[in-house]
Chains A and B, each alone.
Chain A
C-alpha cells in the first residue's frame, strides 16, 4: 500500500525568506506522480506543483520548487521569497501511474509572519 508522511506539523517563517517542507513516501510501483497542494483558510485546495518519478530534474513553478531525492523516497517542497499569502496548510500527495487513486499526507501548516 502507498503511504505519504509529512512529519512537520507546523512551521513559522518570516516573510521573504525560504522555507522547505518535508515529505517522504512509500510505494512499490516504479512509475508514479508526486504532488503538492495547499489548502487555504476557506478550505479551497490548490494544486501547486508535480514531479514525475522518471524525471531526474527537480520541478519548478514560480516560487515553488521541489527537492526530489528518489533513493530516499523524498519530495520536499521549497518556497522561496515567502509572502504572507503563502500561509496555508500544505499537502504532499502521490498517485501511481496505473491508478486514479491519490494518497495524501497529513499536511504541514505554514505561517508566514511579517
Chain B
C-alpha cells in the first residue's frame, strides 16, 4: 500500500541551531508534497507546497530562507528549520500526494516533533 514515512520522529535542538527532517513516499509517486506545522492547539499551518516541475510555493509568514525545502524526486522530500527558536516548536507534518483519481487526498506520516531548548 501507499505510505509516507517521516523521520526523525522527535528531535531536540538548541536555540539558534538547525535541524533537517525527511519525508519518504512508499508505494506511490509523490508529485506533490506539502509541509505543515501543527501547533499545540492542533491548528495546521501550511508552510509550503512543492509540486514536481513547479517552483516551491511558501505561505505567508514562511520563507525559503527559514524553511528550505528539497523535493529532488518522486519519493523524497526534506525540509530544514534554520536557526530554530522557541516559536518554531511543534509537530511538522509532510503530506504527499500522487497523481490520478484515487490520489486526491494527501497521505501523512507520523510527523517530526521539534523541541527547542
- Tell me whether B32 and A106 are in contact (CB under 8 A): no
Chain B binder among A22-30, A36-44, A66-74, A76-84 = A36-44
Instruction: Confirm or deny: A45 has a beta carbon within 8 angstroms of a beta carbon on chain B.
Output: yes
Task: Report the Cα distance A43→B62, complex, angstroms.
Answer: 23
- Tell me whether B111 and A43 are in contact (CB under 8 A): yes
- Complex contacts, B109 vs chain A, CB 8 Å: 44
> What 1/0 flags go to A18-57 for Cβ under 8 Å of B?
0000000000000001010101001111110010100000
Task: Report the Cα distance A24→B107, complex, angstroms.
Answer: 22
Contact of B42 among A35, A47, A52, A107 (CB under 8 A): A107
- Complex contacts, B107 vs chain A, CB 8 Å: 47
Task: Report the Cα distance A52→B51, complex, angstroms.
Answer: 22
Name B residues whose Cβ lies closer than 8 Å to a Cβ of A. Answer: 32, 34, 41-44, 46, 49, 51, 91, 93, 95, 97, 104-111, 113
